[in-house]
Structure 1
Amino acid sequence: MAAWREEWVAALDALEADVETIERLIEDEHRVQALPAANPWSPPAELSALPLDLKPRADRILARQIAAAHAVSTAITGNRRQTAYAAKIEVGTAGKAIPAYVDCNA
């Protein structure tokens, strides 16, 4: 029975490490491009049901994951808005071609 609990502790440790990585990236977003894409987590096949005493920890990790996902989506939305705004400034009219004049007297 102790091994069952320890397997869940290890699984939750791995989940918590992943969400801590995302939380650090949110705080220091310039490092995002330098890191490889995260691997999706799935529970090890040999795990049985979560021990009841670990449920509060699992719930806290889930809440942090949801908050981190929300923060990432908010950051992505902000970046897209900034990109669209910068495109308007650089081009003048959101993606339309800039008029070009050619001196044919040369």
Structure 2
Amino acid sequence: MSRFANLKKIIESPEAEPEVTLEAAQTPAAPEPVLAEPAPASSIPAAEPRRKRGRPEGKRSDPTFTGTTFYVEKSVLLDAQVKLLQEGKTRDVSEVVNGLLKLWTAGKVKL
């Protein structure tokens, strides 16, 4: 015998529908819950501007910087990178070069 044979009998039988009495039809429904009113706009602090997702913008997208190419001796570059790593790498080689060029153009460093 199929597992669904009894189900077919239940669906086909007309006595499956319950009768609704007059009392059940006139019973009032439960009251709807009262929603809290929203706070006035003046008490809500202004929303801070949302930050964009992903990485922060770098020097490439900063209009005050320009991309350039320099030829530097490998040993000098490696020494500079090692020194930056020892300092905790708070800046990169381009920032060091930028700072040195500023000092040189201001006349504070002579080559």
> Which structure dedicates a bigger proportion of its chain to helix?
1
Larger relative CO (CA 8 A, sep 6+): 1 or 2?
Answer: 1
Tell me if TM exceeds 0.5: no
Taking structure 1 as the reference length, what is the TM-score of the superposition? 0.22
Work out which of the two has the higher radius of gyration on C-alpha atoms and give 1 or 2.
Answer: 2
Taking structure 2 as the reference length, what is the TM-score of the superposition? 0.21
